[in-house]
Amino acid sequence: MTSLTFLSLLLLTTVVSTISAQGGLSDCCHEIKNTTVHRDRLMGYIEVRPPICGLHAVIFRTVLGKRICADPKRLWTLTSKAYLDGKNYYRRQAKP
């Protein structure tokens, strides 16, 4: 009985720490829209997947603090991620 309680507690701790590392459940998308913005207005992104979030999506953050839930397979999503990755890569390389 004690080992079952311990295993349950261990599982719960693992799930909670994984959710916290992903930014919490507030970073999950409930639906994906076809919204697009100019890439200069994007600050970054995270990719969320099941089982932490029910929907596989890419969440972009804009300079105004808005969230855009995008389909990870869409061309706009892929090119925007590549743009941000290149932009961040350039910034890292520019520092002494």
Indicate the average pLDDT of the chain. 78
* C-alpha to C-alpha distance for 23 and 48, rounded to whole angstroms: 10
Residue scoring higher pLDDT (87 or 83): 83
* C-alpha to C-alpha distance for 88 and 95, rounded to whole angstroms: 11
The pLDDT of residue 1 is: 58
The pLDDT of residue 33 is: 87
90 pLDDT higher than 50: no
The pLDDT of residue 57 is: 95
Per the confidence metrics, is the pTM higher than 0.85?
no
The pLDDT of residue 75 is: 93
Q: What is the CATH number of domain 27-94?
A: 2.40.50.40
Domain residue ranges in the chain? 27-94
The pLDDT of residue 27 is: 80
Cis peptide before 51 (omega within 30 of 0): yes
pLDDT digits (tens, 9 = 90+) for 24-52: 546 899 999 898 999 999 999 999 999 88
